Structure 1
Amino acid sequence: MQGLMYRLAELDANSAGLVRVIDYFDALVRHGADTASLLRASAQLADCVAGIEIAEHGRSKKNLRRCDPHGRWSPEPQLTPSIIRDITVDDEVLGTVWIERPGANLPLDEMLVDRMALTAAIILRPRRLLTEAEHTHNLLFPMDELAVLTSCAGLGLDPAASVRVIASTTNDIARLQFSKDSTPGRATGIEVDGEYLNLVTCSFISLAEFSEIAKVMPVRAGISLAAAACEIHTLIGTARFARSQSSPTTPIVNADDLGALNLLAPGTKIDHTRIPDLVRAREFRETKDGTELLETLRMYLRSGTLRAAADCLHLHHSSVAHRLAKLSHHIGFHVDTIENRARATAMIMVLDAM
């Protein structure tokens, strides 16, 4: 039978494949595996011989074991180790692990042996497992890509799942009773420097329902743009920016409703493809009527009124109103209302620069 490692390799070492490898070894730790179980499981996953050598204190001889994919112990090497990693705890090397892959290495081999070494270190020197809150923190404020994938595995969260962040300055948000489907995986609310962050699925509840809750339980919050769980840390700034735009009359602000104004959000530079307004406007600009209608909006924003725009375009003001209504339908928001003027202006300015 073809080994599980080969099936994972078909994923071309993408996020899902990496998370599966991480979760595989995390499961061994959760179930109290010893080094022998680790070795058998590693050989089965890799579909090749796996080995471990442990330095025993007070002895010059080292404890060396090897196992093939069928669970057979084979003490003598048959192939040169293809990838080797030290088992390190607090800068102390406790031994090494390796795999003996015949032929070229597979895309996930490096990750597999890294996790073998880490799991062996945990077995030899048990450490406290991270809590769900700590995994959530590491997902939202990761040190590197590995931390993101480890956190996704620890939370039972698909790294490709679409999620959002809710940012609030009070902990009232944590007391809101979201449905079970609202929380992705085992993520939990966290506090960072007096700010409360909650990870939610994109369909957690409607904004209208959320606003109704806010009337009963006063809270100011911002909802970020949507992103895959493995990338949501790049959009926390949009949740904070949305929260900064909240008011007593609008206590909950969705970053989607700010459009291209999200580019003003502090933090990581936002890819234009993350902003629904810009995606829709750019696609519409390529259609037959798109250029004309966007030009009408541009003239309306510059002139300030329907009649002034109509004079510049040599049209009747009702024709300008009709064009703006048609554009609003395609773009997804009313481009000619006072409250959306800044949003529409930002969209046109960014489109002109693209």
Structure 2
Amino acid sequence: MEALALRLSGLDPYVGGAIRIVAFYDTLMRRRVDLAALARASAGLAECVTGIRLHGTGRVVRASPLGTEATGPAAAGEEGEASTAVPVTLDEEEIGVVWLERSGPPNPLDEVLLDRLALAVAAAVERYGPARTTMADPALVELAVGTGTDEAARARALRLLGFAAGAPLHVAAVRSAVPLDRVGALVCPGGLVKAAVLAGPGGGTGVLLATAMDRAAFPEGVRAGLADSAGTEPLDAAWRRARTALRFATDREPVAVHAELGALALLAEVPEAAARANPDVTALSRFAAGASPEDLETLDAYCATGSLRRAADLLHLHHSSVSRRLDHLSRSLALDLTTPTGLTRARLALTTWRLIEDTA
């Protein structure tokens, strides 16, 4: 390569210089250097301050030609400060930017240098794992959680998302009126979290993949189903559990955890035709079609508490008012809600009805 560069430089100094730059970065990439080393080497080669910024964390690395950390304000993103800048892309997604800070006009080879530096930065990010971000490429997330994904491809997708191979992950299926990146930042403020919206009925389902997840931090206006992956099973199994849990989320309990559903999760496996044909579900469907919101709220509160007085407290009503509503519900559903068997049937019918009416 050096001999070729010398011969070409005699014919065209620009071509010879470009080849030398390519060889320079090829050597750095073979040595698997990190971002700080790339910035130092590039600053020495360019003989000016060189910078690297990763969008996900806002991390900035700036080095001077002397190999030390550059002082003063970072130039990336400050119009007019960077003499030349080039975006860093990985799998067709812009993940950062690299730039030079020359005091004079750009060097003819500056773009070649930055192109190679951007490639080296992308390689380093992929090798060491990207810095923490929120929104991710939906295609990459779908590859990570998809049922038909080859496990080697799944592992690579997770690595590109920043997760270590085989590491335990928390998975959330989300329906939200709140921007998904905000939800991710709230429920996983101190760890790596990736979010994307996958296409589907009702506008799609949000996905959160995170190293930690605070179920109490989901904001109002969000329904979520949570599941964990121990890292010893394909991630698509955890994603299926998260979507199942999401179907059990309600306005009263907007966050459902699959591990806490227990035997209730079996209801999600009942074929829709069989569920609709069940007499209790059929009765509830007919009743719900003409019921007032107060009636359904009363049934929900009573099924959740199993107690007339606790339901009254939950509804902020006198227990006699709730008693009258329950009498009406019992007649409409042909169930004695005051008996353990009647209450159990009502709970199962209400849950099953919600599952078959779910369109997400």
Would the TM-score normalized by the shorter structure come out above 0.5?
no
TM-score using structure 1 length: 0.34
Relative to the length of structure 2, the TM-score reads 0.34
Tell which structure's C-alpha radius of gyration is larger: 2
